[in-house]
């Protein structure tokens, strides 16, 4: 599966490709998206697609079973993606690496990028423990009531 840069000066989609995206999206409308609660964050990350291309991304929301990111790369639903990001946990930066699957893709207007929801398919036990503790801390923090 090939990643497609979403910049008007670099690439344009043919009508057939756009129809493929629409058809695939419509066939997966009932597919589960990330469950509530979701918490707003602003973490730099990078993703690696199946063809081993690395792209920068911004983790915008986190949830129990995955993350929502903003990037410049549109991927088809069901694509396998590896993600790496860092969480500040107990006054240390902890690296989180996970294998994920694209469950939602929305191309933003005015060349503002692409929003992807990635569902975890594999994450190590220790990293999942850190991630879950971070979710719990955000959920318990009174000043962090930015649940979506």
Distance CA 119, CA 66 (A): 4
Q: How far is CA 33 from the centre of its chain?
A: 11
Which is nearest to 51 in space by CA: 24, 80, 31, 17?
80
Q: What pLDDT, in 10s, does the model give residues 80-110?
A: 999 999 999 989 999 999 999 999 999 998 8
Per-residue confidence (pLDDT) for residue 20, from 0 to 100:
55
131, part of any domain: yes
146, part of any domain: no
**Domain at 37, CATH number:** 2.40.10.220
Q: What pLDDT, in 10s, does the model give residues 122-148?
A: 999 999 999 999 999 988 876 655 554
Contact call for residues 47 and 25 (beta carbons, < 8 A): no
Residue 23, helix vs strand vs coil: helix
Distance CA 60, CA 37 (A): 13
pTM: 0.74
Contact call for residues 77 and 107 (beta carbons, < 8 A): no
Contact call for residues 27 and 76 (beta carbons, < 8 A): no
78, part of any domain: yes
Task: Please give the tally of structural domains in the chain.
Answer: 1
Distance CA 73, CA 140 (A): 34
Domain assignment of residue 135, given as a range: 4-140
From 39-43, 45-49, 57-61, the region with the lowest mean pLDDT: 39-43
Question: Per-residue pLDDT averaged across 111-119, rounded?
Answer: 93
Distance CA 75, CA 51 (A): 12
Q: What is the average pLDDT value for the chain, to the nearest integer? A: 83
From 50-64, 65-79, 116-130, 132-146, the region with the lowest mean pLDDT: 132-146
Distance CA 130, CA 111 (A): 34
Distance CA 79, CA 118 (A): 9
Per-residue confidence (pLDDT) for residue 129, from 0 to 100:
96
- 84: Cβ–Cβ under 8 A, 6 or more apart, which residues? 45, 46, 47, 48, 95, 96, 97
39, part of any domain: yes
36, part of any domain: yes
148, part of any domain: no
71, part of any domain: yes
Q: Does position 52 have pLDDT exceeding 70, yes or no?
A: yes
């Amino acid at each position: 599966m090939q990643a497609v840069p979403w910049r008007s000066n670099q690439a344009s989609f043919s009508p057939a490709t756009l129809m493929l995206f629409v058809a695939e999206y419509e066939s997966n409308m009932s597919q589960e998206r990330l469950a509530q609660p979701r918490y707003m964050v602003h973490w730099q990350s990078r993703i690696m697609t199946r063809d081993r291309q690395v792209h920068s991304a911004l983790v915008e929301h986190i949830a129990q079973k995955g993350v929502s990111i903003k990037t410049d790369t549109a991927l088809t639903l069901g694509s396998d993606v590896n993600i790496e990001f860092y969480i500040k946990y107990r006054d240390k930066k902890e690296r989180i690496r996970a294998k994920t699957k694209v469950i939602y893709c929305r191309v933003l207007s005015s060349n503002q990028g692409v929003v992807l929801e990635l569902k975890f398919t594999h994450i190590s036990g220790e990293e999942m423990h850190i991630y879950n503790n971070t979710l719990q801390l955000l959920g318990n923090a009174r000043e962090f009531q930015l649940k979506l």
